[in-house]
Chains A and B, each alone.
Chain A
Amino acid sequence: AQTVTQSQPEMSVQEAETVTLSCTYDTSESDYYLFWYKQPPSRQMILVIRQEAYKQQNATENRFSVNFQKAAKSFSLKISDSQLGDAAMYFCAYRRGTGNQFYFGTGTSLTVIP
């Protein structure tokens, strides 16, 4: 069974600083995708970044980057130059390469301090 674990229920960061959110997962598959989704107070799920397991290069999207450690089954999200609008719930998610189902972690609530 696939499981996704986010060990940090809450995190805070000073505006303009950098924060890293942790995520580990468990799978026996070799073909899969990993995601970070942002859920602001509006509750809309917004895709932040995606990583294909077969790619060794870490994905980056502007101020967001991941540290993908396949052997350790770790997938952390780094947010640089944090902004007030980054405050939200962040969910790490896993999906098998050939499957449709997402497995979500329990989320990390990020607070950005002005």
Chain B
Amino acid sequence: GAVVSQHPSRVICKSGTSVKIECRSLDFQATTMFWYRQFPKQSLMLMATSNEGSKATYEQGVEKDKFLINHASLTLSTLTVTSAHPEDSSFYICSARGTRGASDYGYTFGSGTRLTVV
């Protein structure tokens, strides 16, 4: 089956620094990847959608310059939180949609990253 690996699972960083989160599709090509943010006891909110080799499409209210998304290959997308502040502390989850041969792997979620900014 389709597996999406997200790394790191937890990260603590100092305010003002940048943090990179990786999302990899392990056994399929992810033509489209999605980044979600989840606050405690709340639902997942889509931040941005990225297609391989093109610029990400951000949802309204999401700062492009703060949340940099790169989808340079069919198996890897990264989210960089730049100049992180405590209010950026949250749970970030990626999701990938892709195919392997003729199989549609649909949408698979990564295991998430808990970011804490101190």
By a CB distance below 8 angstroms, the chain A residues around B43 are 91, 104-107
B11: shortest Cβ distance to chain A, in Å?
14
Q: Number of B interface residues, CB 8 Å?
A: 19
Residues on B facing A (Cβ under 8 Å): 32, 34, 38, 41-46, 49, 91, 93, 95, 97, 107, 109, 111-112, 114
Residues on A facing B (Cβ under 8 Å): 37, 42-46, 91, 100-102, 104-107, 109
Q: Is the CB of A101 within 8 A of B49?
A: yes
Q: Which residue of A lies closest to B45 (CB)?
A: A104
23 pairs of residues in contact across A and B, judged by CB atoms under 8 Å: A42-B111, A43-B38, A43-B91, A43-B93, A43-B112, A43-B114, A44-B109, A44-B111, A44-B112, A45-B93, A45-B95, A46-B109, A100-B32, A100-B34, A100-B97, A101-B34, A101-B49, A102-B95, A102-B107, A104-B44, A106-B42, A107-B41, A109-B41
Chain B contact residues, majority secondary structure: strand
Q: Report the Cα distance A44→B107, complex, angstroms.
A: 13
Chain A contact residues, majority secondary structure: loop
By a CB distance below 8 angstroms, the chain B residues around A104 are 43-45
Q: Report the Cα distance A44→B108, complex, angstroms.
A: 10
Q: Is the CB of B44 within 8 A of A43?
A: no
By a CB distance below 8 angstroms, the chain B residues around A46 are 109
A90: shortest Cβ distance to chain B, in Å?
11
B10: shortest Cβ distance to chain A, in Å?
10
By a CB distance below 8 angstroms, the chain B residues around A45 are 44, 93, 95, 109, 112
B86: shortest Cβ distance to chain A, in Å?
20
